[in-house]
Amino acid sequence: MLSYAQIPFEIVVSHVEEYFNERNDPNEIVQALALQKAEAVANILDQDAVVLGADTIVTIDNQILGKPKNETEARKMLKQLSGREHIVYTGVAIVSAEESTTFYEETKVQFWELSDEEIDNYIKSGEPFDKAGAYGIQQLGSILVKQIDGDYFNVVGLPIARAYRELKSFLK
């Protein structure tokens, strides 16, 4: 997505374990996880590197839906989201050797009512397993979504317009 904003970048995976206290506010959780990821990568790169880290979670009924570990979890999440509104939070951290900043975006998403067959077919696609809330809006999961209120790219995993502006400000 950074290529949309014509920002040169290199992808470096952080390998940070995603542990968090579910009692914290979702916006605090995603910002903390994004910062952990960005700092982990910054520690292995050159001093002049600027690192952008991001983390996304889905919430419904005051419950955090992470990435499903198996078909049973994916099915449970998709049934819970079916026909309902949920909130997607993405935290972003920008880190350099001298400073860091974080921000978050939230987007409301409403799903269509999903039949068991639709859920099963989506699970068979394999798409749910590396996605918070068991869906990816940018791929086949787009047919599950009835409406969004907020930044589409936030649901994809990086609110690119805001990230671009924050990065521009950070580099001044």
Closest CA to 88 of 40, 125, 131, 117: 131
Using the structure block, give the residue that is written with the tokens 């671009």: 164
User: Residue 133 belongs to a domain with what CATH number?
Assistant: 3.90.950.10
Residue 14 has pLDDT above 60, yes or no: yes
Helices and strands counted in the chain (H then E): 5, 5
List residues bridging with 87 in a β-sheet: 59, 108
Confidence of residue 87 (pLDDT cuts 50, 70, 90): very high
Residues 32, 92, 16, 23, CA torsion sign: positive
List residues bridging with 165 in a β-sheet: none
Confidence of residue 4 (pLDDT cuts 50, 70, 90): low
For position 166, what pLDDT does the model report?
Answer: 94
What are the structure tokens assigned to 149, written together? 């209120």
Q: How far is CA 135 from CA 1, 79, 116, 129, 160, in A?
A: 18, 12, 15, 8, 19
Amino acid identity of residue 51, one-letter, is V
- For 1, other C-beta atoms within 10 Å of its C-beta total 16
Q: What are phi and psi of 113, to 5 degrees?
A: -65, 125
Confidence of residue 12 (pLDDT cuts 50, 70, 90): confident
For position 16, what pLDDT does the model report?
Answer: 83
Number of domains in the chain: 1
Average pLDDT on 47-54 reads 92
Q: How far is CA 144 from the centre of its chain?
A: 17
Domain that includes residue 26, residue range: 2-170
**Percentage with pLDDT > 70 across the chain:** 97
Q: What is residue 83's three-state secondary structure?
A: coil
List residues with catalytic annotation.
55
Q: Model confidence over 64-86: pLDDT tens digits?
A: 998 999 999 999 999 999 999 99
